[in-house]
Structure 1
Amino acid sequence: MVRTRFAPSPTGALHLGNARTALFNWLFARHHKGNCILRIEDTDTKSSTSEAEAGIYEDLKWLGLGWDEGPDTGGPFGPYRQSERLSLYREEAERLIDEGKAYRCYCTVERLEALRAEQAAKGLPSRYDGKCRGLAPGKEPKGAPSVVRFKVPVKDVMLMDAVHGLLSFDSRSIGDFVIMGSDGIAAYNFAAVVDDSGMSISHVIRGDDHLSNTPRQLLLFEALGRPAPIYSHVPLVLGPDRTPLSKRHGDFSLRGLREEGYLPEAIANAIARLGWNPGEGFLTLEEMAGRFSLERLSKSGSEFDIGRLKSYNKDAMNEKGGRELASLLGIEGAGIDKLAGLADALKKNASTLNELRSLMRPFLSEPAPGEAALSEIREERSLKVIRAFSEELDKAAGPEDYEAIIERVKAATGEKGKHLLMPARLALTGEREGIELPGVLRLLGKREAIRRLEKWLR
């Protein structure tokens, strides 16, 4: 059975790169009718928080990505939180020591820093020199703290990556690496291997930034006598400057995008296309799962385009009815029928829920123009236009042709362009921007429009 995993660290908000990793693992598992496992890698006790873990659950569920096994749901291969698996790591480390595949290292921090400085001065890569590798039994310093290092065999490590093809790594460039810290906490690579093995993970889909970890993990799988999963390393998500997407490009966490008014289905469509080509069109998660394959993952980096996300979000909003949109807006103090009508009428003019909320605001409460707008409204030239609009609206008998009313005001005042439209817009909405004036008049209705205009003429 196909078993994938998403293994985030609960140290902060889930960003787009992590969300894409979660999505790809979920899609692959669903495509093959397998299981997707959520594992929380919280061995960094200083940075991990329960609040961040809860945020991961919330973000994944909001995106529509459930999991078959995890810390909150349980499963046959638990526990699924690394902080609850420490005894497993220690047992496996002791086994490797007993089998001569790992050893205790007593080198001090000062010695290791001096070694790195010496290697850097000679232009050599930083790696452990093996000082404690051959330490004879009984020669260990009494009571000295130690780490456990893995004995890296000299060999070429071969990786058949589902994205990059066959890759080769010279183990001599790695050096004996730490698998257990002096505090008894497993190092990342060792914990990941013990967990992937113990949870029967068949496929690992993750970012290119983990590629350097893979030869270490393959060596550990071999030493433990267990089969390694099939690896797929996808290129990192890039910003507009073609560097890895980071906080300096903006807040691209799921939480941040959600607060900006983006819908989960729009985000899923945008991030799915970062390194994968499912074809054109707006797709549901189920449709994506039906098309997903590792063979169609790209080898080159993909640039995140906020404009494309806005386009998908606009499509997603236009697919929703007014009542559904109204329920997402969280606006209080107005009836659902009114909110639904406004949302339905204005959604085509908005790209996010926040934009839609802003467009709806003038129709839900009295306009409150700023000082500059107030001064502009009170100019005699503006009041003349406002009076003409009020009079022409009052003359209208039946279903109003608001475009014709604007033309009559234009003829009566001799004004055009912004001098014709802006005074009425400011008086009616208090805003300089928004939908076109005929739409404003139509949504307010004749009576409310006249009332708002007359307020400035008193």
Structure 2
Amino acid sequence: MKIKTRFAPSPTGYLHVGGARTALYSWLYARHNDGEFVLRIEDTDLERSTQEAIDAIMDGMNWLNLEWDEGPYYQTKRFDRYNQVIDQMLEQGTAYKCYCSKERLEKLREDQMANGEKPRYDGHCRDSHEHHAADEPCVVRFRNPQDGSVIFDDKIRGPIEISNQELDDLIIRRTDGSPTYNFCVVVDDWDMEITHVIRGEDHINNTPRQINILKALGAPVPEYAHVSMILGDDGKKLSKRHGAVGVMQYRDDGYLPEALLNYLVRLGWSHGDQEIFSIDEMKEFFTLEAINKSASAFNTEKLQWLNHHYINALPPERVAVYLDWHIRQAGYDTHNGPQLTAIVKLLGERCKTLKEMAAQARCYYEDFSEFDADAAKKHLRPVARQPLEVVRAKLAAITEWTPENIHHAIQSTADELEQGMGKVGMPLRVAVTGSGQSPGVDVTVEAVGKSRSLARIDKALAYIAEREAQQ
């Protein structure tokens, strides 16, 4: 049997973290078993589904590199198929037309709730022989079995049993002729030959209904695995309060897809004590049985730790591709300056996110209008004038612009003036970068470039002269 899984989001909002983890688990299970992964857009909620949300889902899946083998399928393009199946069910008697008015159903619900009963349809039209005009408005309901139970072996939670008396006769087609969500899902899983349905625990209540419809259709019943929810740091369900917006927000905030995937896979799944997983390792080790049935808590610090790891562990060329997007968002040109791979190597240890890296990289490509006030106050003082003048002359004389030669220029300046390296290095760092924070001053000056560094030292000397004049 070929394993076939699916990710079937409703396009009523962004692809959020919980959805992305479900997609990842479904994708990994298919890949682990040399199976196929289907993307399906469940857009039957015509009022709330939007093209913007569809685009956001696609963007998120593509950014995470969760490629699909089939799809995307759209439920709204399959209405003829659903209605064809419903018509067959009406003929076979596994579905029936219900003419109950909205008022009757509301009264029924009120009475049941007043009596402390679970609100459910009472089967009024189930075996009715009343005559109705062909054009009289009606819904179509599934004739759910009235006795026995639905039992399924959840791959994460173990056996689950629901009495059929708990389930009423579900509406499968509305009065406007549109099929309902629970029915469309069943036909889709049947037609697409889905073998394993991996989804959130909020769907557990839908599963017995869907199994009963599958059985009524004579369709194979897939295996089910219901994943627990993700909680915020405060133990409450993850929401926008926790910054849990769309997956693409994590891209915007400077995270690498590899870091987010590694973080998500560990939110409920484990393989020994291992924390860092390459995509290939995830595919090799992933099993449904290793998914934890209890809820997982989202921890942003852990995600940042992983992101910092991947910034430094991935090939700089790969990280540079993602960094380039952030630099373009920041709006500056990298053609006049070092290669982005050099920036990744230079700033990787210092930055937890690519957004942070892009901000720190600006000084390597663009001149700044003013020095950081605190750094300048501390390091661009009259006492720093001579070290800057001497080191400038030595830097100007360098013919081969390398970190080693720059380091030698700084060292020999300190030796010549009989000062510590910091008395030369710190004023030079502030002069060249505009701030008191940077990687090693020799590699920083090398990356900024010779002409730009000399011009900035001149600017710093002018700043010091102006300070001296004011004293």
Equivalent position amino acid for 2:357 in 1:
L
TM-score normalised to the size of structure 2?
0.83
Distance 1:378 1:23 in 2: 49
Going from structure 1 to structure 2, the CA distance change for 1:324 and 1:157 (only over 3 Å counts) comes to closer
Distance 2:297 2:383 in 1: 49
Q: CA deviation at 1:360?
A: 0.9
Aligned to 2:139: 147
Report which stretch shifted further, 247-256 or 329-338. 329-338
Residues 388, 412 of structure 1: 8 Å contact kept? no
1:309 aligns with 2:303: yes
1:216 aligns with 2:206: no
Distance 1:455 1:91 in 2: 82
Distance 2:143 2:258 in 1: 47
Q: CA deviation at 1:84?
A: 1.5
Residues 406, 442 of structure 2: 8 Å contact kept? no
1:383 aligns with 2:376: no
Aligned to 1:362: 363
Distance 2:390 2:360 in 1: 25
SS of structure 2 residue aligned to 1:233: strand
Q: CA deviation at 1:411?
A: 9.7
Q: How does 1:306-455 map to 2 (within 5 A)?
A: 306-330=300-324, 331=327, 332-335=333-336, 337-369=338-370, 373-374=372-373, 383-384=381-382, 386-387=384-385, 390-391=388-389, 393-394=391-392, 399-400=406-407, 428-431=432-435, 435=439, 443-444=447-448, 447=454, 450-455=457-462
Q: How many residues are matched?
A: 442
SS of structure 2 residue aligned to 1:167: strand
Aligned to 1:300: 294
SS of structure 1 residue aligned to 2:306: helix
Residues 380, 427 of structure 2: 8 Å contact kept? yes
Q: CA deviation at 1:356?
A: 0.9
Aligned to 1:41: 42
Equivalent position amino acid for 2:381 in 1:
L
Distance 1:220 1:232 in 2: 18
Equivalent position amino acid for 2:293 in 1:
K
Question: Pick from 273, 277, 286: which aligns with 2:280?
Answer: 286
Aligned to 1:256: 249
Equivalent position amino acid for 2:382 in 1:
K
Equivalent position amino acid for 1:429 in 2:
T
Going from structure 1 to structure 2, the CA distance change for 1:377 and 1:250 (only over 3 Å counts) comes to closer
Distance 2:23 2:375 in 1: 53
SS of structure 2 residue aligned to 1:256: helix
Distance 1:338 1:452 in 2: 25
Question: Pick from 76, 96, 106: which aligns with 2:89?
Answer: 96
Q: How does 1:15-164 map to 2 (within 5 A)?
A: 15-71=16-72, 80-138=73-131, 140=132, 143-153=135-145, 154-164=147-157
Aligned to 1:175: 168
Going from structure 1 to structure 2, the CA distance change for 1:125 and 1:425 (only over 3 Å counts) comes to farther
Q: Deviations over 1:317-343 (max 9, x none)?
A: 112444443333224243474433232
Going from structure 1 to structure 2, the CA distance change for 1:218 and 1:440 (only over 3 Å counts) comes to same
Report which stretch shifted further, 424-433 or 283-292. 424-433
Q: Deviations over 1:14-40 (max 9, x none)?
A: 111111111111111111111111112
Q: CA deviation at 1:359?
A: 1.4
Going from structure 1 to structure 2, the CA distance change for 1:109 and 1:259 (only over 3 Å counts) comes to same
Equivalent position amino acid for 1:176 in 2:
D
The percent identity for this pair of structures is 37
Q: Deviations over 1:354-380 (max 9, x none)?
A: 11111111222222348xx55x57869
Aligned to 1:233: 226
Q: CA deviation at 1:94?
A: 2.1
Please give the root-mean-square deviation of Cα atoms over the aligned residues, in Å.
3.3
Q: CA deviation at 1:298?
A: 0.9
Q: Deviations over 1:110-141 (max 9, x none)?
A: 33333333333333222122222232141x36
Distance 1:407 1:244 in 2: 58
Residues 393, 450 of structure 1: 8 Å contact kept? no
Residues 388, 427 of structure 2: 8 Å contact kept? no
Equivalent position amino acid for 1:285 in 2:
I
Residues 386, 453 of structure 1: 8 Å contact kept? no
Going from structure 1 to structure 2, the CA distance change for 1:304 and 1:286 (only over 3 Å counts) comes to same
Q: CA deviation at 1:266?
A: 1.1
Q: CA deviation at 1:204?
A: 0.6
Residues 27, 289 of structure 1: 8 Å contact kept? yes
Distance 1:169 1:8 in 2: 25
Q: Which runs of 5+ in 2 are unaligned?
A: 328-332, 396-404, 466-471
Distance 1:185 1:312 in 2: 46
Q: CA deviation at 1:263?
A: 1.2
Residues 12, 52 of structure 1: 8 Å contact kept? yes
